[in-house]
Each structure stands twice: as C-alpha cells, then as structure tokens.
C-alpha cells in the first residue's frame, strides 16, 4: 500500500508554472479554478524562493475533519478525495486547509459557492462512469498507473510525486549531494527527510 505524497523542492523550483498548466490541461479544470499554484516569497530579492502548492493529501486532513457533509474520503493510496454529489459548498474545508487547496467556482450571496474543487492527485473521484468522473474530477491517471501530470512534467524535477518513501529517498539523495546538514527542512529533528508525513501541528 502506497502512501502518496507531493513534495516541492524549493531549491529547484524556478516558478515556470509548468505544473499549473499541466494540471489545468490534464484535468480540464473549470474556468477560474487553478488546482495548483506557484507561490514566490521575497520575489526579486536575494533570498527569493518559489514553491508549487496544491492539496498535500494530509495524513490527518483538516478538510475531512471539519466537513459538515463528511464528503471526503481517503483512498488506499493515502489520496484525499471528495464526493461532489455530497458537497454543499459551505467553504469549511477552505477555512481549515493549511494549503489553500479547496476552491469554489462561485462566491455569491447566501453562501452560493458551487461544488468544491481541488487536486485529486490525478486520481479522479467517485462517479458511475469514466466520462462522469472526468467531467467532475478530471483525469484518473493513477488508475492508468501514472503519476500526477504536474510532477511528471516539472522541468527541473522540483515537484516530486509518488509514494512517500520514494519521494523521501530522492530528496534525501539531493540533500546529501548538496551537503546541507538538514537540507531544506528546519532544525526540527522530527521533521526529518525520512518522515514526509510529519505533522507540524503536533508541535513535537
């Protein structure tokens, strides 16, 4: 059983937005919604840094915990998916999500937001037919044995996707090669490169 994770190596990300485009294209995402975004901190300064963010498929997902309809579920691969037939567009997942992943097609009076949309790790979602699945959630590349297109198309291989262990191994090699004592992580011993599922909220 895999434990799917994304990881963006901030030292490699060049904010080309290729991942954003790849995602839009692979999943035919609704107008106005961008499942993946690239954030740049200190743009134009010496310590500029960019990072690509989408749903991080948390182990202890806050969206799942606060959803009033209980429309989220976790696949055997650790991917957090949601049922758009159950979603009422209350926006609670957006309040709770650490990464700003959930988005809504509308933002109208009386809390009319439409159905929430977010990254599916290219794993589709619950639907009767393949066509319905594609129309509601986008492509299901995982079912075809492929990884999310954003990571597959990343030109600098900053964005990594796959089983947490594999991703951690790749990242560890890079860190060793770079000669950093603790890589891109903080000095927190619990946030080691071996433990990508580290939950910062636990404040160990």
Partner 1 sequence: MTTLTMTKVPSRAPSGTASWLQRGWRLCLMLVLLVASLGVTHMAVAQADPDREMTTAAPGITADQWRQVRSGETGPNYRDSRHESNYNLINASGETWRILRNRWVSPFGLIAIGGMAAMIALFYFIVGRKYLEEPRTGRKLLRWSLLMRALHWTVATLFITLALTGLNLLLGKFVFRTLFGDAVWAWMIAASKVLHNYLGPIFGVLLVIMLISLIKENIPKKHDWVWFKKGGGMIGKGHVDAGFANGGEKAWYWLLASVGILVVASGFVLDFPNFDQGRDTMQWANIIHAVGALGLTAVSLGHIYIGTLGTEGALEGMTTGYVDETWAKEHHNLWYEAVKDQTVSEEELAARKAGGSGEPSAAKPS
Give strand pairing partners of 5: 162
Q: How far is the CB of 72 from partner 1 (least distance, A)?
A: 11
> Which residue lies nearer to partner 1 by CB, 25 or 34?
34
Give the x-and-dash track for 26-45 against partner 1 (CB under 8 A). ------x-x--xxxxxxxxx
Strands 49-53 and 80-82: unpaired
Per CB under 8 A, the list member of 73, 74, 127, 185 interacting with partner 1 is 185
Question: Comparing C-alpha atoms, which of 199, 151, 194, 150 is closest to residue 175?
Answer: 194
Cα separations in angstroms, 25 against 22, 81, 163: 5, 19, 23
Q: Which of residues 152-181 bind partner 1 (CB under 8 A)?
A: 177-180
How many other C-beta atoms can be found within 10 angstroms of the C-beta atom of residue 70? 11
Choose the stretch contacting partner 1; rule: CB under 8 A; options: 110-118, 133-141, 149-157, 164-172.
110-118
Choose the stretch contacting partner 1; rule: CB under 8 A; options: 90-98, 132-140, 146-154, 160-168.
90-98
**Is 109 a binder of partner 1 (CB under 8 A)?**
yes
Question: Comparing C-alpha atoms, which of 69, 93, 97, 62 is closest to residue 83?
Answer: 69
**Is 97 a binder of partner 1 (CB under 8 A)?**
yes
**Is 89 a binder of partner 1 (CB under 8 A)?**
yes
Per CB under 8 A, the list member of 30, 73, 99, 170 interacting with partner 1 is 99
Contacts of 73 (CB under 8 A, 6+ apart): 64, 80, 81, 82, 83
Distance CA 31, CA 99 (A): 20
**Is 98 a binder of partner 1 (CB under 8 A)?**
yes
**Is 195 a binder of partner 1 (CB under 8 A)?**
no
Give strand pairing partners of 163: 4
**Is 15 a binder of partner 1 (CB under 8 A)?**
yes
- Under DSSP, is residue 165 helix (H, G, I), strand (E, B) or coil? helix
The residues of the shown chain that bind partner 1, judged by CB under 8 A, are: 10-11, 15, 17, 20, 32, 34, 37-49, 51, 53, 62, 65-70, 83, 85-86, 88-92, 94-100, 107-113, 177-180, 182, 184-187, 200-201
């Amino acid at each position: 059983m895999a434990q799917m994770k994304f990881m963006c190596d901030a030292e490699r990300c060049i904010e080309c937005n290729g991942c954003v485009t790849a995602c839009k294209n692979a999943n035919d995402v609704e107008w106005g919604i961008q499942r993946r975004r690239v954030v740049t901190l200190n743009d134009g300064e010496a310590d500029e840094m960019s990072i690509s963010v989408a749903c991080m498929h948390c182990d202890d997902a806050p969206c799942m915990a606060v959803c009033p309809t209980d429309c989220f579920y976790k696949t055997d691969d650790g991917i957090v998916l949601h049922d758009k037939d159950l979603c009422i567009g209350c926006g609670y997942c957006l309040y709770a999500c650490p990464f700003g992943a959930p988005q809504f097609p509308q933002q109208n009076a009386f809390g009319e937001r439409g159905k929430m949309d977010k990254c599916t790790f290219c794993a589709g979602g619950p639907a009767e037919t393949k066509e319905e699945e594609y129309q509601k959630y986008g492509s299901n590349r995982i079912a075809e044995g492929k990884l999310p297109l954003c990571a597959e198309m990343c030109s600098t291989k900053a964005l990594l996707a796959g089983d947490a262990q594999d991703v951690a191994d790749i990242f560890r090699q890079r860190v060793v090669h770079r000669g950093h004592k603790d890589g891109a992580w903080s000095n927190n011993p619990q946030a080691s490169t071996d433990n990508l599922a580290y939950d910062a909220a636990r404040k160990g």
